[in-house]
Structure 1
Amino acid sequence: MALQISGPVFRIDKFAVPAEALPAFMKRLRWIDQALAALPGCRQNCVMTERSGSEFNVATLVEWASPEAMAAARAQISRHYAEEGFDPTEFMKRLGVRADMGLFAGV
């Protein structure tokens, strides 16, 4: 049985970023952080980092007011990426970034 989500949703992503790739990765992450914060329904947006040997662990948490707000934001960001010719998957692959991304609902 699928869980029906009617309240806030949380996007929590964790990235393992090689130290040499951190400046380029953080530049892109700062852009997306600012873009998301300006969109309707974004309640909070946090970026956290920790050093782990030769890598950095970067975690992001975005709280959306509803699944609909998150879907609208995703569509807007996807349009921007298409106009810019930016491919997030290729970008992370080129930098050697490993990602673990998830969508969570409050219970």
Structure 2
Amino acid sequence: MPGPSLYRIDKFVVPPTSRDRFMERLKKTHDALDHVDGCEQNLILEQVDGTGRFNIVTFVQWRDETAYQAAKSAAQARQAADGFNPAQFMKELEVAADLAIYR
């Protein structure tokens, strides 16, 4: 029997000047997740009202830890093959992030 679901919830503070480029890359990443075994829900949310500091939030529900770890490994391999460095990308765009896993 699989373990309990895992939830990856990432919150970002994205400057307006970086929004389009950041969203383009984020959508590319999340579109790939839609085809991964074990991805049960995949959302990109953009704040339209309110005073919270995070203006972009992603929410991905994974069937279990095994599915999440497999997807994470595949994503890291894909990024390496593409020569993409997420930390450098976010630094370049001056994006602040709060990345976490929840159960």
TM-score (norm 1): 0.88
Q: Give 3-state SS (helix, strand or coil) of 2:84's partner.
A: coil
Q: Could you tell me which residue of structure 2 aligns to residue 30 of structure 1? A: 27
Shift of 1:33: 1.0
Paired with 1:68 and 1:96, the residues of 2 have a C-alpha distance of 32
1:10 aligns with 2:20: no
Q: Which has the higher strand share?
A: 1
Q: Give 3-state SS (helix, strand or coil) of 1:70's partner.
A: helix
Identity of aligned residues (%): 36
Provide the alpha-carbon RMSD of the alignment: 1.8
Shift of 1:56: 6.6
Residue pair 2:7, 2:59 contacting (<8 A) in 1 also = yes
TM-score (norm 2): 0.91
5+ long unaligned stretches in structure 1 = none
Paired with 1:56 and 1:17, the residues of 2 have a C-alpha distance of 8
1:92 aligns with 2:97: no
5+ long unaligned stretches in structure 2 = none
Amino acid at match of 2:100: G
Residue pair 2:11, 2:54 contacting (<8 A) in 1 also = no
Shift of 1:61: 0.2
Number of positions where the alignment pairs a residue of Structure 1 with one of Structure 2: 100
Amino acid at match of 1:11: R
Which portions of structure 1, spanning 4 or more consecutive aligned residues, are displaced by more than 4 angstroms?
A: none
Residue pair 1:9, 1:104 contacting (<8 A) in 2 also = yes
